[in-house]
Amino acid sequence: MQSYISCESLFREWINMKPHGYILSLGHNRSDEHLKLHHSNCIVLNANIVGHGGNSTVMVCSDSSNELVNWARLNFWNEPHFCEACRPDL
């Protein structure tokens, strides 16, 4: 089940609840070139969230990386990039 999160406090709650989940970050302008798939514990993702005050970064969270890839295909007609730091698996 995926959830759509656009604020920092909700995001932190989610990764605490789901340390083995996956996160698709949409970046600040929500364009497909910024679609990136991360593992919940990604240090790059966490560092980015801290730096931006949270409200402008939109993320989709799920237990399943496959679900997020499908979500990106449905909503952006595109494949997400896979983060080089946390290397999420499908």
Residues engaged in binding Zn ion (CB under 5 A): 38, 42, 44-45, 83, 85-86
Q: How far is the CB of 28 from Zn ion (least distance, A)?
A: 17
Q: How far is the CB of 77 from Zn ion (least distance, A)?
A: 23
Q: How far is the CB of 38 from Zn ion (least distance, A)?
A: 3
Tokens for 1, please give them.
């089940």
**Rounded to an integer, what distance in angstroms lies between the CA atom of residue 18 and that of residue 73?**
23
Strand order through the sheet with 59-62: 3-5, 59-62, 22-25, 36-39, 81-82
Decide whether 45 or 58 has the Cβ nearer to Zn ion.
45
